A and B are shown apart, each in its own frame.
Chain A
Amino acid sequence: MSSSTILEVHSHIGWPRMLAQAAADIGGGLQRWRTWTFLSSHELRRQYQRSVLGPFWLTINMGILVGALGWFYSGVFGQDIESFLPHVTLGFMVFGLISGIINDSCAVFSGSAASIRQSQLPLSFYVFKLICRHVIAFAHNFSIYVVVWLFFPIDLGWSAFLAIPGLALILLAGFFAALIIGPLSARFRDIPPIIGSLMQIFFFLTPVFWNADALSDRAYFVNANPFYHYLELVRAPLMGSAPATLSWVVAGGLTAVLAVAAFIFFARYRSQIAYWA
């Protein structure tokens, strides 16, 4: 029994203490990785309980969507299906991951209000669990890409492994974004619908199911969209090319800024989350 555990809470504390407690919260959340991996996979399994295919329904849904849209829009845009279908597949997979994390982060605290008021889990635990659930879903969806890769000529080199740091950047950025969006959405209940509609708009503005090359004179429009850069970091390597340096710079820089902002924000409002949720 660890009787040396000491809980100390003071109502008015300065920044150094707030930042230290936020760091301890995130550290404590990370430490419980086995618990949140267990819970997130349990949540996913429960969603598809008693269905024969289980979470692979996620994969099938997306597979059908991607197959139908890939076939249809390659005709509409007059594009070659052999390169267009993999492009659309990866677009949906990766953008689905990004928008899924952002949309779900609205309810990361308000949806767990009962749990937050009952148990002493660090608040970051709920964010880790959210990210983990999306990683598992993404891993299921990845099998679609494998099928596409088997049937379509995608020339993969070593650069394909660049998708891994790209994915890591997406997850990091998602984690930090959720640390800001979560408390804000719990406090202001108008934020979730605003975010929902913004993500819908970005789904169309980002080259998910269309090609960025199609807008040669509007490249600035795509380049100004941060979601495009995150998407490219994973999509380009898996399409057989290295992502543009600009994408690394934008996504890396943005993630760093987000990390600092989220940490300060979380430190400042962490003590209020139990009341807001």
Chain B
Amino acid sequence: MSSITLDNITVDIPILGAGTRSLKNSLISAATGGTLKVRDGYKLSVRAVDGLSLELNHGDRLALIGHNGAGKSTLLRVMAGIYPPTEGSVRVEGRIAPIFDLGFGMDPDSNGWDNILLRGIALGLSLDEIRPAVQEIAEVSELGEFLDMPIRTYSAGMSARLAFAISTSVRADVLLIDEGIGAGDAAFLNKAKQRTNKLIEEAGLLVLASHSDQLIVDWCTQGLWLEHGKPRMIGPVEEVLWHYRVSVEEAAKASA
């Protein structure tokens, strides 16, 4: 069984920009008894998620909806255990697969076969898990002999296909997906759709952050609308999406 329980989560992301990251300022602020601290605002941070509680169970398919910077990606990273929250606690049951950036981990100078391994490692698989799946991934990618070539020689569509084939080969109980996964050319899309559907059906739990209404409605049953890191609305996905769209349009009208 898979489940996600978030209990009153707050995430402050420290901004270690100019002035705050340097050792000199920390030493000076320590030596001057914190006067600089006040002026610099030593602990500058952005509150990305603000007091969020959430309970997801086996079978739930949740879409995270909201503007850029609403905290969708941060929340996914909290669920993956990558960002430990500043306040609150997280409990996730089941094997987690975070799929954030489809092509992450791939190396342009290595050939397709090596990249299957590299991308698989970035997805958190062990070599023992990837190696048996290599042949199947190669077939899905339909790249044939191109797999022997370094992927810098691929067209954008070809590398997207390979990345897609690898990323959708993971089997997990809890699937965390950021942004759209539906890349590739028309001929590939049908196959892609079947494959993503299978991936999602097999996972016990899905959390998707996306700006694509189509993807959200196709894949998810519930929606969580985030605004400035706070939950604005949670409920059936169509309803939440509708309210979100209305508010976006109203905001556009108001500013016009």
Q: Identify 7 residue pairs between A and B in the complex whose beta-carbon atoms are under 8 Å apart, listed by A's number.
A: A3-B95, A5-B173, A9-B81, A46-B109, A49-B109, A119-B98, A188-B26
Cβ of A1 < 8 Å from any Cβ of B? yes
Q: Which B residue's beta carbon lies closest to that of A190?
A: B23
Q: Which A residue's beta carbon lies closest to that of B95?
A: A5
Q: Which B residue's beta carbon lies closest to that of A21?
A: B84
Q: How far is the CA of A114 from the CA of B100 in the complex (A)?
A: 11
Cβ–Cβ contact B95 & A2, under 8 A: yes
Which positions 12-47 of chain A face chain B at CB distance < 8 Å?
12, 32, 34-35, 38-39, 42, 46
Cβ of B22 < 8 Å from any Cβ of A? yes
Known contacts: A11-B84, A46-B107, A49-B109. The answer to whether A190 contacts B93 by CB under 8 A is no
Cβ–Cβ contact A3 & B80, under 8 A: no
Chain A proximity mask over B88-131: 1 for CB below 8 Å, otherwise 0: 11111111101011001101011000100110011110111000
Q: Within the complex, what minimum Cβ distance (angstroms) separates B80 from chain A?
A: 6
Across the interface, which residues of B come within 8 angstroms of A10, CB to CB?
88-90
Cβ–Cβ contact A8 & B121, under 8 A: no
Which positions 42-94 of chain A face chain B at CB distance < 8 Å?
42, 46, 49
Known contacts: A3-B94, A7-B91, A275-B13. The answer to whether A42 contacts B118 by CB under 8 A is yes
Which of B22, B101, B114 contacts A42 (CB under 8 A)?
B114
Cβ–Cβ contact A120 & B24, under 8 A: no
Binding site for A on B (CB under 8 A): 1-2, 10, 13-14, 16, 21-24, 26, 77-78, 80-96, 98, 100-101, 104-105, 107, 109-110, 114, 117-118, 121-124, 126-128, 171-173, 204
Across the interface, which residues of A come within 8 angstroms of B88, CB to CB?
10-11
Across the interface, which residues of A come within 8 angstroms of B98, CB to CB?
118-120
Q: How far is the CA of A34 from the CA of B92 in the complex (A)?
A: 27
Cβ of A214 < 8 Å from any Cβ of B? no
Q: Within the complex, what minimum Cβ distance (angstroms) separates A125 from chain B?
A: 10
Cβ of A268 < 8 Å from any Cβ of B? no
Cβ of A115 < 8 Å from any Cβ of B? yes
Which of B78, B105, B173 contacts A115 (CB under 8 A)?
B105
Across the interface, which residues of B come within 8 angstroms of A35, CB to CB?
121, 126-127
Q: Which A residue's beta carbon lies closest to that of B45?
A: A275
Known contacts: A1-B95, A9-B81. The answer to whether A119 contacts B126 by CB under 8 A is no
Across the interface, which residues of B come within 8 angstroms of A121, CB to CB?
124
Counted as pairs of residues, one from A and one from B, with CB atoms less than 8 Å apart, the total is 119
Q: Within the complex, what minimum Cβ distance (angstroms) separates A181 from chain B?
A: 13
Q: How far is the CA of A12 from the CA of B87 in the complex (A)?
A: 7
Q: Which A residue's beta carbon lies closest to that of B87?
A: A11
Which positions 167-216 of chain A face chain B at CB distance < 8 Å?
187-191
Across the interface, which residues of A come within 8 angstroms of B173, CB to CB?
1, 3, 5
Across the interface, which residues of A come within 8 angstroms of B124, CB to CB?
119-121
Q: How far is the CA of A146 from the CA of B90 in the complex (A)?
A: 54
Cβ of A136 < 8 Å from any Cβ of B? no
Cβ of A160 < 8 Å from any Cβ of B? no
Q: Which A residue's beta carbon lies closest to that of B171?
A: A1
Cβ of A6 < 8 Å from any Cβ of B? yes
Across the interface, which residues of B come within 8 angstroms of A11, CB to CB?
10, 84-89
Cβ–Cβ contact B92 & A7, under 8 A: yes
Across the interface, which residues of B come within 8 angstroms of A42, CB to CB?
107, 110, 114, 118
- Additional A-B contacts beyond A5-B173, A7-B91, A10-B90 (19; CB < 8 A): A1-B95, A1-B173, A3-B93, A7-B81, A9-B89, A11-B85, A39-B121, A42-B107, A42-B118, A114-B104, A117-B100, A120-B82, A188-B22, A188-B23, A189-B21, A190-B22, A190-B23, A190-B24, A274-B84
Q: Which A residue's beta carbon lies closest to that of B172?
A: A1
Q: Which B residue's beta carbon lies closest to that of A39?
A: B121
Cβ of A271 < 8 Å from any Cβ of B? yes
Cβ of A116 < 8 Å from any Cβ of B? yes
Q: Which A residue's beta carbon lies closest to that of B178?
A: A118
Across the interface, which residues of A come within 8 angstroms of B122, CB to CB?
115, 118-119
Q: How far is the CA of A38 from the CA of B87 in the complex (A)?
A: 37
